[in-house]
Amino acid sequence: REAEAWQARFEPAQTRDGHRVEVAANLGNTAHAADAVERGAEGIGLLRTEFLFMAHAREPDLATQIEEYREALDALEGRPLVARTLDVGGDKPLPYWPVPKEDNPFLGLRGIRLSLTRPEVLETQLRALLMAAAPASEAADKPRPLRIMLPMVKDVGEFRAARAIFERLLDEIPAAERATDVQLGVMIEVPSAALLAPVLAAEVDFFSVGTNDLTQYTLAIDRDHPELSAQADGLHPAVLRLIEMTVAAAHAHGKWVGVCGELASDTLAVPVLVGLGVDELSVSARQVPLVKARLREFDLTEARGQAQLALAQATSEAVRDALEVR
């Protein structure tokens, strides 16, 4: 099966009946973008930019960031780049950006909350992303699609604060020197954001569901807990209901939804997510050919049936049992 999946890796990602679902790669290092394309990725669905920051002894300046983001965009040759702004704090400390000791770092200063305490860092990063995605001068007609997403957003207040910086930059930077095809979206990984998806969907350009954190915060189980993490299963019906609400809200506003957490590469979950209406799956580069192959095994009607079956269960164990039986 693996050899077959590899052979077909450049075929478009779609279900047996031709329903397109984009399959992209999660990356922590822009030097790996070319490899992701070679494995059949249709874009980068999550660039974890905190790893770029962690690789430097101090905050990378504008020129350094532009160079790194450009490396990914060059390798993508017109495929979209979904870049997440700095997501540190919680489980991901940044040595040169110390956060006062917290009793509950997972509930503390992290993600967008932390970024908004240092707006000049966020501004430099947004500027670098926008400038890196300027169409190359020798190919001004070739857009370099850029999707910027904000981590750990809990409500529209945080989104608006970040958008204000983003919009000021769009005004400030001459149009020829910045991205022309750009969207600003949020990750859905805090339950409040999923519950308020109808409010957010009116203002954002897209959602990407981070099932790792969404599961952790919905079930109140540390995703890295040595004994409990196995119970932090994204196929829990509570998590699936939040994803269902998120997709419904996005589509009602004509916006797209990706899933970039671990759940996107789970064999049982793929048809469920497609059945819920998810438009893009972003998985580790190694998994891209397998997820594409998995999509070709079912049609949209079957996927919708799997989604309804999963939503009707009471526990994640029941969901897995119900999906396995078929």
Site for ligand PEP, rule CB under 6 A: 46, 48, 189, 210-213, 260-261
Give the whole-angstrom CA distance, residue 100 versus residue 108: 10
Residue 185: which of ligand PEP, Mg ion, none does it interact with, CB under 5 to 8 A by kind? none
Q: To the nearest whole angstrom, how small is the minimum distance from the Cβ of residue 210 to ligand PEP?
A: 3
Long-range contacts of 51-55 (CB under 8 A, 24+ apart): 53/86, 53/88, 53/94, 54/92, 54/94, 54/95, 55/29
Compare residues 189 and 233 and give the one whose CB is closer to Mg ion.
189
Compare residues 77 and 91 and give the one whose CB is closer to ligand PEP.
91
Among 210, 234, 258, 271, interactor with Mg ion by CB under 5 A: 210
State both tokens at 233: 């299963």
Kindly provide the b/e burial profile for residues 192-222, where b requires at least 16 CB atoms within 10 angstroms of the residue's own CB. Answer: ebbbbbeebbeebbbbbbbbbbbbbbbbebe
- 178-207 residues in contact with Mg ion (CB under 5 A) are 189
Compare residues 214 and 307 and give the one whose CB is closer to ligand PEP.
214
Kindly provide the b/e burial profile for residues 50-73, where b requires at least 16 CB atoms within 10 angstroms of the residue's own CB. Answer: bebbbeeeebbeeeebbebbbbbb
Q: To the nearest whole angstrom, how small is the minimum distance from the Cβ of residue 87 to ligand PEP?
A: 6
Residue 261: which of ligand PEP, Mg ion, none does it interact with, CB under 5 to 8 A by kind? ligand PEP
Q: To the nearest whole angstrom, how small is the minimum distance from the Cβ of residue 92 to ligand PEP?
A: 8
Compare residues 244 and 262 and give the one whose CB is closer to ligand PEP.
262
Q: Does 266 bind Mg ion (CB under 5 A)?
A: no
Residue 144: which of ligand PEP, Mg ion, none does it interact with, CB under 5 to 8 A by kind? none
Amino acid at site 288? V
Angle (nearest 5°) at CA 303 between 302 and 305: 65
Compare residues 200 and 295 and give the one whose CB is closer to Mg ion.
200
Angle (nearest 5°) at CA 160 between 144 and 49: 45
Residues contributing to the site for Mg ion (CB under 5 A): 189, 210, 213
